[in-house]
Chain A
Amino acid sequence: MWRALAGGLGVALAAGPVGCFVVWRRMAYFGTALAHAVLLGVALGFLLEIEPTLAVLVVCFLFAGCLALLERHSPVAVDTLLGVLAHLAFAGGLVALAFMERVRVDLIGYLFGDILSIGAADLWLIGVTAAATLTAIAWQWRNLLAITIDPNLAAAEGVPVERVRLLLVFLLAAVIAVGMKIVGMLLVVALVIMPAAAARRIATTPEAMAAAAVAAGAVSVGAGLAGSLAWDLPAGPAIVLVAGLLFLAGLPVPARRARP
């Protein structure tokens, strides 16, 4: 149980600031597409006999890189492209897993998360990912904000726009790969965007919004796990339910304005 809480908080820590950029840059659909590659990673993990979460991380990175490149030279509308590749990866993952007759995969666990089964290796991976994500975001904070506001302006001022954009895509892939363990691939994007969207109501600066998103994510994980313990709810959906309620509760509150 404590492992579950620690893992959940670790993911919330990384998902907060990354989620803010996903909300600001309208990348929610990109995130959903990435999450669909999870099963492909699981299959690869079994095939190569490596830790599944690590394999998922690697596959999410590769998929993110492909998507980011294809997005720039897409022959069709970007949302169509994402929709095609996401479900192609998902179906591919399902078929690959079905082929491996010797392994029995807990499909439900990957689809909806299995936070209570978090092992020591998972916890390590989550910790390292969260630390690396926060470090990278803090290091590139100014550039990330600059490309969010206007890529042309950023480029004219010397920001390496493509590299920073790619960094953000990789960070999102990392958060999705480890967050998948907590709430599952179908709900992981919720863990990224809901706390960030809820945080907007109380934040007056981008930094405050990132911090508030971390707090909202942590509250969701804590309350969701508590609810799961008290009433025997499925943990992942309970966490997402709390995050969603936080967002809805904030809607009537007017967004705070900065005081001079």
Chain B
Amino acid sequence: MNAFPPANELFGGEASGGDPRHRGGRDSEHRGRPLVEARQVSVQLGQRRVLEAVDLTVHAGEIVTLVGLNGAGKSTLVRVLLGILRPDDGTATRAPGLRVGYSPQQVRRDPFLPLTVRRFLSLSALVVPERVAGALGEVGADAILDLPMAEISGGELQRVLLARALLREPELLVLDEPTAGVDIASQGELYDLVARIRDRYGCGVLLVSHDLHLVMAATDRVVCLNRHVCCSGPPRTIARDPAFVALFGQHLAEALAAYPHQHDHRHDALADPAPTGGRA
């Protein structure tokens, strides 16, 4: 990987307001050093242009959430940032020696592969086996330590994947759809957990999520992706962004703009049947 550009250059670019899409700035108290950065990244998969000149930076200590409709290129962008996929155009850089904890949407859980949760968690090269039980306790899933991976539920799997990512003591935590298959009560818990992890480890967090309501409550910066970055900023301002409204619809955007940016999880907005519509 290329050497990471000096931090002042990155911040200098944003402070001068050169990019009108970055109307954030107020959340900069969370920001530490840049961990990963995509610059003008374009990806072509087969005949399809999946990403088009995308810029994205995740700093230490901030929670950035990627939102977008199906096929918007969210997972592809994550794969580019992690260095799994090489962009056709543009560059993706990571801070040298960056420790990444990654939780994919799914992993193979073949009943033919005899693998307990404990064993799955100790597979990662950096993991000390003694810490496995503790990490699972931290995500509230210690009861399933010795169950086969093939038998745990989708929600339990998300916790296990999060525990595995945490075991690497990550500087950057990347969570792809961490609330998939998680019931609505536990979703709030999970986001609280992510926020606590960020506070405790000071790591940067890159989230991919469909769940707009929870995103608004537990994110520092929302990046709305639709092949290109159509808008980005702190949750409350982005809900009023015309590009965001155009993408997700007037009704949903209004509901989100009214939603308080707190971590108390009064799920007023969730009482409305809108969440099913929100799951794009």
CB contact list, B95-111 vs A, under 8 A: 100, 102, 104, 106-108, 110-111
B79 touches A206 (CB 8 A): no
Contact B107 A149 (CB under 8 A): yes
Is A36 located at the chain interface by the 8 A CB criterion?
no
Given contacts A142-B123, A146-B123, A258-B148, contact A153 B114 (CB under 8 A): no
Candidates A23, A150, A200; contact of B104 at CB < 8 Å: A150
A142 near B104 (CB under 8 angstroms)?
no
B116 CB within 8 Å of chain A: yes
B114 in contact with A142 (CB, 8 Å): no
Which residues A177-203 have CB closer than 8 A to chain B?
A: 197, 200, 203
Which residue of B is nearest A260, CB measured?
B146
**A155 contacts the other chain (CB 8 A):** yes
Chain A's closest residue to B145 (CB) is: A260
By a CB distance below 8 angstroms, the chain B residues around A205 are 114-116, 119
How many A-B contacts if CB must be within 8 Å? 73
Q: How far is the CA of A148 from the CA of B107 in the complex (A)?
A: 9
Flag whether B44 is at the interface (Cβ < 8 A): no
B84 at the interface (CB under 8 A from A): yes
Asked if A206 meets B125 with Cβ closer than 8 Å, knowing A24-B110, A153-B102, the reply is: no
Contact A156 B123 (CB under 8 A): no
A206 and B115 contacting across the interface, CB-CB below 8 Å = yes
Smallest beta-carbon distance B100→chain A, Å: 6
Distance between Cα atoms of A11 and B188 in the complex (Å) = 54
For A146, the chain B residues whose CB sits under 8 A away are 123-124
Contact A156/B146 with A149-B123, A150-B107, A197-B112 known, Cβ cut-off 8 Å: no
* A167 interface residue per 8 A CB criterion: no
* A209 interface contact, C-beta 8 A: yes
Chain A residues 141 to 190 lying within 8 A of chain B, measured CB to CB, are 142, 145-146, 148-150, 152-153, 155-158
Contact B82 A155 (CB under 8 A): yes
User: Does A208 contact B145, Cβ atoms closer than 8 Å?
Assistant: no
A257 lies within 8 A of chain B by Cβ: yes
Measured in the bound complex, the distance between the Cα atoms of B116 and A153 in whole Å is 17
State whether the Cβ of B4 lies closer than 8 Å to any Cβ in chain A.
Answer: no
**Chain B residues in 8 Å Cβ range of A140:** none
Is B120 touching A149 in the complex (CB atoms < 8 A)?
yes
A149-B119 in contact given A158-B125, A206-B113 (Cβ < 8 Å): no
- A152: chain B residues within 8 A (beta carbon): 79, 82, 84, 102, 104
| Beyond known contacts A146-B123, A152-B102, A208-B114: 9 more, CB 8 A cutoff | A149-B113, A149-B123, A150-B106, A153-B102, A153-B107, A156-B82, A157-B125, A157-B168, A205-B116
**5 nearest A-B pairs in the assembled complex, by CB-CB distance:** A156-B102, A260-B146, A150-B107, A155-B84, A156-B82
- A residues bordering B, Cβ < 8 Å? 23-24, 142, 145-146, 148-150, 152-153, 155-158, 197, 200, 203-206, 208-209, 255-260
